[in-house]
A and B are shown apart, each in its own frame.
Chain A
Amino acid sequence: MSAPVPQRTAPFVMPAKAGTHATWVLAFARMTKWIALLLLLALATHAFAVEPSERLADPALEARAVAIGATLRCLVCQNESIEDSGASLAHDIRVLLRQLLLKGDTDEQAREAIVARYGEFVLLKPPVQPATYILWFGPAALLGLGFAAMVVWLRRRPAATSSAEPLSPQEQSRLETLLREADR
């Protein structure tokens, strides 16, 4: 009845009587699964939808394909890149992209070939051209406009403190009597 109930300790709480070698080993043993989980999570940051069979044997070429693919929109799930998307259309475009690169296309040629099929909408980053000037420069223009308005407003505002007329001698003496009364 009085057998000690095994205590469940929170994962990262150090043993109460820290110091001896054995307690540290125990604490570490308790933490291993959490450490393993953290390591696994660290690995998971580069989880692409790319299937092993799509990957090119040449790592340099594959790296280029990944870099280009990350800038191309999947048209089925319209806010994902084709590298991230599991849609079968994304798979098709990934394969096409790799075929183009294997054929010897430059990055630019490969991108162009896909834009020719699907339009500029496939580019996740819209190109700078007259139709997108508002998109690219609008925010900066608004900021500049706001700044200009602020400058105008500040200039027009009657300078309240600095350019006020100096007190007349009567006012000055009245102020002094008031201050003296307040001090008393």
Chain B
Amino acid sequence: MRRALYLLPLLLFVVLAGYFALALRPGYDPQTLPSAMIDKEAPAFDLAGLNGDGLSRDGLKGGPVLINFFASWCVPCRVEQPVLMRLANREHVPLYGIDYKDQPEDAAKLLAQFGDPYRRVGLDPDGRVGLDFGVYGVPETYVLDSTGHIRKRFVGPLTAEEVDKELLPLLKALKKS
């Protein structure tokens, strides 16, 4: 019993080390927040479109879709641009854009210059739809299922790894169900 007491510091060390290892594991970012909206219905929106047709939540029901919040002033958005292009052109993922707090002319210029991965783009000039989604920084990408419920959120630029390991398998599963 007395001897067990001497093991206490070692035990404390192991617990603390385990805790630190968990917090320092690669790929873990404490600043990334889980979305409060997971598995809830996406907030209703009905936005004017960048090129003619508008974008609304109810118009997107019927199949899993991706909604990507972006802006022409957003530098990390350019980082994910090639990934989005691949998603649209090679994987044929239905990708829709919401232009967050931006001037339409600037967004149009950006898409003309770097390529347009979106089937349609809705304009959210005052960021109100972003606020309803719980967006706290662009880019953010949401996966909506066929009933318009949010199934996943990606914060920050999408990486090829996230696409292969999480996004595509999720879309495949959603398509089956």
Chain A: residues with CB nearer than 8 A to chain B?
75-76, 78, 88-89, 92-93, 96, 115-121
Contact = CB atoms under 8 A, between A and B. Distances in A.
A119 B136 contact: no
B46 interface: no
Contacts of B33: 75, 118-119, 121
Contacts of A93: 131
B31 interface: yes
14 contacts: A88-B101, A89-B137, A92-B127, A96-B131, A116-B37, A117-B36, A117-B37, A117-B132, A117-B133, A118-B134, A119-B35, A119-B36, A119-B134, A120-B36
Interface residues of B, number: 15
B131 A119 contact: no
B52 interface: no
Contact of A117 (B31, B127, B134): B134
A116 B131 contact: no
Given A92-B127, A92-B131, A93-B131, A116 B136 contact: no
Interface in B102-145: 127-128, 131-134, 136-137
A139 B131 CA distance: 36
A117 B127 CA distance: 14
A92 B130 CA distance: 10
B27 interface: no
